[in-house]
Amino acid sequence: MASAVDIQNLVKVFHPSFRGTPVKAVDDVSIQIAAGEVYGLIGPNGSGKSTTMKALLGLVAPTSGSCRIFDADSLEVDSRQQVGFLPENPYFYKHLTGAETLSFYGKLCGLRGKSLEERISELLDLVDLQGARDRRLGGYSKGMLQRIGLAQALIQEPRLVILDEPTAGVDPVGSRQIRDLILALKERGITVFLCSHLLEQVQEVCDRVGIIYKGRMVKEGRLDEMLAIEEQTEVLLRDASPELIERIRKLVEESGQGEFLGSGKPRTTLERLFLEQTTNRDDS
Ligand SMILES: Nc1ncnc2c1ncn2[C@@H]1O[C@H](COP(=O)(O)OP(=O)(O)OP(=O)(O)O)[C@@H](O)[C@H]1O
């Protein structure tokens, strides 16, 4: 079966209009994403993430190399039929309501009548904005705007969704909703290609990750393999007394195999702590 994404040796050089040095934004990057995978591209500002995504979408022409989506060249218009895109800073018409916005994009994709109405309703349910369907986007929060953006990207039932910083400027609760949505897309078999600065979120949703630095892919692989510390093994205990831990330490010592490296309380993350303290609290 064809890869959902096949980027081969992509190079993109931007030439300034007047005198000035050309910028090599992407330097020999190759990425393959299988259908149904969630792939995260991470890297510092200006490392070439957006340019790679734009080349894949056919929005910028490669200087060399090629980009294919489900075996169609990105420079061919047809390749975009299977793709939904949420740009880094999506622009919305503020005077339209949530439902009108989706109707507008649905019509651009050729949807009409009852099937359009059903699709809008299904998407508003999916992104949890049914209650705000008749409110103008001018009054939406940043998190709601990103979710309507995601719904817009899904309007024509794409097989591949490309998300450029989907949680930029969104608070942890909103980010978690978007994370859950990405997982819901994965469950439906939709391929997701995203880039983000929020490493913990990337870690939570992605099957594979690529790290890009100054336009070059410096590391790529399956997340579980990349993060495993091969020579260490973790044992988790509940309510272990100091005596029990001491006995385990001695046992390891006497066995003559391996080494007891230490014990301590696992840490939660600041994000989880924040969510525990701010979600579903009874403030009365
Ligand atoms: N249209 C353009 N013309 C000239 N230079 C550009 C253009 N687009 C991007 N660049 C340059 O290419 C490099 C990579 O930019 P890109 O936006 O792809 O990085 P990024 O990793 O997405 O960054 P960020 O995390 O800040 O969004 C940067 O040096 C940027 O200034």
For a pocket test of ligand 1, which of 7, 50, 162 has the largest count of ligand atoms closer than 8 A to its C-beta? Answer: 50
Mean pLDDT of 146-173: 91
Residue 26 CA: nearest ligand 1 atom is 14
ipTM above 0.85, yes or no: yes
**Ligand 1 atom 27: the closest Cα is on which residue?**
45
Q: pLDDT tens, 238-268?
A: 999 999 999 999 999 999 888 999 888 877 7
Q: Domains (ranges, CATH) in the chain?
A: 5-227 (3.40.50.300), 242-278 (no CATH)
Residue linked to tokens 């994009």: 105
For a pocket test of ligand 1, which of 26, 41, 51, 59 has the largest count of ligand atoms closer than 8 A to its C-beta? Answer: 51
Nearest to 207 by CA among 44, 34, 7: 34
Mean pLDDT of 27-53: 95
pTM for the whole structure: 0.85
Residues with CB under 6 A from ligand 1: 14, 23, 25, 43, 45-51, 88
**Ligand 1 atom 17: the closest Cα is on which residue?**
50
Q: State the Cα angle at 160 between 154 and 166, rounded to 5°.
A: 65
Beta strands 38-42; 5-14: pairing state: unpaired
Query: According to the model, what pLDDT value does residue 284 have?
Result: 45
Rounded CA-CA distance 65/60 in Å is: 12
